[in-house]
Amino acid sequence: MADTKAKFYHILEILWDTDEEHPKTAAQIGELLDARYGIAAERKSICRDINILRDECGFNIHLSADNKAGFYLASRPFEDWELKFLMDAVLSSRALSETDARELVNKLKRQGSQASRELLAAITPLPPKPAADKHLVKYGIDTVLKAIRANRQISFTYLTFDADKQPTPRRKEAYQVSPYALVRKGDFYYLICNYSKYDNLSFYRLDRMGRIALLPDKRKPLRAFVGTHERAGLSDFVHRALYSFTGDPVELRLAIPTYEVSDLIDAFGNEVTIHKTDEDACEARMTVQDGPGLYFWLLQRADNVKVLSPASVRDHLVELMKTMLAQYEAPTDAPSKSKEADHG
């Protein structure tokens, strides 16, 4: 029985390399069974096993149109375009080490036929990865998933780089948090959690978290921060946190030129309300979080986007621009110090 099971498995392995343009005959499959696995099999028994894989096990195995070229696997979990999309997402992520990225890409390629693997490898150059070591990301994801599944808190140190480009803990004491979600924003993964000292949600970059440990303490309930509709509330929180910075929600009103509408929708989504004020200008309204990310976005567009309300956002933006200007007017070359935000 063990040999029979192994034969079925290895026939399927061989068929996994096939597609409509590259089928294999029963004789070819028999040769590969013998050469790769030392299994001797007659052509009729191979055809019988393929019928069982198709009819009883549900594998979509077809016989080629002329009935002579052989058998091929007609469908598989991922199409080539899906594999290409996932491979590019892995390779473009700055959250993974080069080794982890290559291993994950190789696993994805193995989901396609042999011809697909060769094509995907040919059209997907491997970009250089950052020199910084990201090997802790996969361990961090695994630990966070375990904590959420077990409804428990975690602890970690949060790392920043010093002038010698060495990772250094931001604080001597470890952070203790209740984890709720992992999201990818831009090039990085972020943990969404509640830091035990505060009564709100925060973002922490996963690749900057060290010494992640599962704690026996139970998590605080998510509804305490986003309301009873937890999934919808968490989605709103993530969507409104620009560049993964948090803050109190505010109703923002902007005067913008029409050509900024596309960037506005990219940043805030289709929930933005837009009214034309003249041929080339609009007024936009949206709910956002009043945090550092909002001002970073506004400063990038300070020459053509004007804050109409609230006055608190407008006034703070003006103060930031005055501070920036003063830095270049100051007689010293020393950079000014900005307030450190408690997030990644």
Pairing state between β 209-218 and 202-205: unpaired
Domain boundaries defined on the chain: 2-73, 80-123, 136-240, 244-329
Mean predicted confidence (pLDDT) in 262-285: 86
Selection from 59, 77, 73, 62 nearest residue 17 by Cα: 73
Residue 327 has pLDDT above 70, yes or no: yes
What dotted CATH number matches 244-329?
3.30.70
pLDDT 10s digits, 171-185: 888 999 999 999 888
Residue 31 has pLDDT above 70, yes or no: yes
Selection from 68, 64, 60 nearest residue 27 by Cα: 68
**Rounded distance, CA 84 to CA 89, Å?**
9
Question: Same fold for the domain at 2-73 and the one at 244-329?
Answer: no
pLDDT 10s digits, 39-78: 999 999 999 999 999 999 999 999 988 777 899 999 888 9
Q: Which fold has domain 2-73?
A: Arc Repressor Mutant, subunit A (1.10.10)
This prediction's pTM = 0.65
pLDDT of residue 337: 56
N-terminal to C-terminal alpha carbon distance within the chain: 56
